[in-house]
Structure 1
Amino acid sequence: MLWTGWGAAPPPPPAPTAAPEAVNESPLSTSDTYQLRAAIDQWMAALSARQPNAISGYVMSDLQGAFQGAPADYDADAFERSVKLSFAGAAGADTVDVWSNDIEELVGSGDMAMVRSTRSYTRTAAGGRATSVKMRLLEVYRRHDDGSWRMARFFGFPG
């Protein structure tokens, strides 16, 4: 029931039954942080080299994500199709793609981490004409069974 301000005030919400566990109770180790950063760097190199098979080593099979302005949310299959479409748009071997990532925040606990970053994509065609896109991202990574860090959730927007 929506309280409109007339009559008796609604009852207060129930008290939580247990204290929530803080994210930083077991923060990521320095090794995990370096592994995650290295995984993202490797992903940027794979995108720049237009390696479509690298996708399976980067994302979880249950990936879910959204990009502001996209007609629908992404699952792992839609994400793979999107990346492959960007590769197909390259105008030949003389076109150079460069992906880069600037990590602004990396926090996590145990087998989960959150990365806030700015990602840039620049395509330079023969003759030197370059086109760039910048994106703001919030990504959630989980440790995969093989020990690698893979993206599980993302939200992106132009920026």
Structure 2
Amino acid sequence: MPRALRLACRRLLPTLALVLVAFPARADEAAIRARLDAWTRAFNARDKAAACELFSRNLISEYRGQGEAGYEDRCALIGKALDDPARRFRYSTDIKEIIVAGDLAVVRLTWRLTVTPGDVTSVEPGMDIFRKEDDGVWRIVRYIAYEE
């Protein structure tokens, strides 16, 4: 191999390595965004099963004032809200940051919940920790949130 080609390869190798490492992280970030978007659509459509699918069976969550809750308790709370015929709950999200590290990811975000009638709005900053589970799907294993 000519010397000039060897030098060019040495210069390009670190860049290529960064691209190869960054590509999976970008794909995982996109998959996590898609999971959060799907959850928002499912919740807003009152689809309890699809809304609970975002959470790992190993979930530990904490929402200020509610204490810790696992998967079953959190899904029961979601079901109770979605089954309420007198009120409508609608979420939107603002994702601030996603950090992916292997099979774990941290998402810093703010949820906005509007409850009708009355159009009462709650702003809920929080942090979700996702894990890519054995089936290859990203699910929330831990989260903490609070109402401003």
Tell me the residue number matched to 1:85: 80
Matches within 5 A, 1:7-156: 29-70=25-66, 72-91=67-86, 96-125=88-117, 129-156=118-145
| Cα root mean square deviation, aligned | 1.9
Instruction: Output the CA distance in 2 between the equivalents of 1:147 and 1:79.
Output: 23
Bigger drift between 50-59 and 103-112 goes to: 50-59
Bigger drift between 72-81 and 95-104 goes to: 95-104
State whether residues 27 and 110 of structure 1, in contact with CA within 8 Å, keep that contact through their aligned partners in structure 2. Answer: no
Percent of residue pairs identical:
24
Instruction: Output the CA distance in 2 between the equivalents of 1:124 and 1:55.
Output: 20
- Higher helix proportion, which one? 2
Bigger drift between 45-54 and 139-148 goes to: 139-148
Unaligned runs of 5+ in 1: 1-24
Unaligned runs of 5+ in 2: 1-20
Instruction: Output the CA distance in 1 between the equivalents of 2:145 and 2:85.
Output: 22
Tell me how many residue pairs correspond in the alignment.
Answer: 128
Question: TM-score, structure 2 length as denominator?
Answer: 0.78
CA drift at 1:88: 2.3
